[in-house]
Amino acid sequence: MTLIALLALQDEFYKFKPETTWVYKASHPGEERVITGKVLGEKDAYALPLRQGLSAAAEAQEAFESPELGHGVFTYCVIEGLRGAADLNGDLRVTAWELYEYVARAVPERVRREHGAVQEPQLAGEGEVRVLLATAARPPAVAFAYGPDLPYAGSPVQFADQTRADRGLEAFAWSFGDGATSTESSPTHAYAAEGEYSVELRVTDARGVVGSAASRVVVGPAGRVLSIDVETGSVLVSLGAENGLRVGDRFETSAGASELEVVELVGGDAAACRVLRGDPPAVGESLRPVPSGAAAPTPPAPG
């Protein structure tokens, strides 16, 4: 029968978490085993006897291996519990009692599902069940921003990671809500059609702990031609500063017959353009942005 001494678990925790405030003393067999440290709900450190252990199953019960996990169900659940799954009250700490409650629930569920049998871990011995065994890793506080505030169909949307974490960040997984994804920390994405999209960012820190955040991005319709000044040839379009437009941005008409360049922002929701290529577009014609890296054509000479 597998029996894990809780003090041994804490010894291992101390080895791998040198920043912990725990100090312990394990004496020779027959002497009292004492651990000195902090107890949940107490501010001062003091000594507590710890003479407890977790057994893999009750007497006469079999401790099962899991083909799916590749080792014992009990061992797997203990490890997962100490990694944070046993933090039942969400305070980022795992106590002896929380670990027992977690494995007492998780082990029978998996054994029943995989083997159709009964395996019930037991808490043996005496001692203070509030003793801290491990601290659960705090997940990254994931956050992100995007701009412009009112993106439009076809326009680039810049996403920026703003995650805060106790450890370094190892991986990013963006889902833009239209089937597209990215693993960059601060990617750019263009939506082909107007609509409301649910964007999710999942971040993995250096410990392998994952955090996530989601937000909705509302994408407006593509720009269109509002009016044309016949005398000056200036073209007024339905996009402006609030859509992220800047002087020098360029557009093609839907048919590709004309190319326009923004020369002035008119309020927040409109812009004046000049014709760089082709004939003046028709009023109501839709527009698509030209990538910023594309070479600009030579505008026609006046007159």
For residues 193 and 94, membership in a common domain is answered with no
Residues in the chain: 303
Q: What does the pLDDT read at residue 22?
A: 29
CATH of the domain at 266: 2.40.30
Statement: residue 19 has pLDDT above 70: no
For residues 88 and 182, membership in a common domain is answered with no
Question: pLDDT exceeding 70 applies to what percent of the chain?
Answer: 75
Q: What does the pLDDT read at residue 84?
A: 81
Q: Give the three-class secondary structure for 76.
A: helix
Q: What does the pLDDT read at residue 79?
A: 86
For residues 117 and 11, membership in a common domain is answered with yes
Domain end call among 197, 219, 241: 219
The string of pLDDT tens digits covering residues 137-188 is 678 999 999 999 999 999 999 999 999 987 789 999 999 999 999 999 999 9
Range of the domain at 64: 3-135
Instruction: Measure the CA–CA gap between 215 and 220, rounded to whole angstroms.
Output: 16
Domain contains 294: no
For residues 184 and 240, membership in a common domain is answered with no
CATH of the domain at 14: 3.30.70.1470
Domain contains 295: no
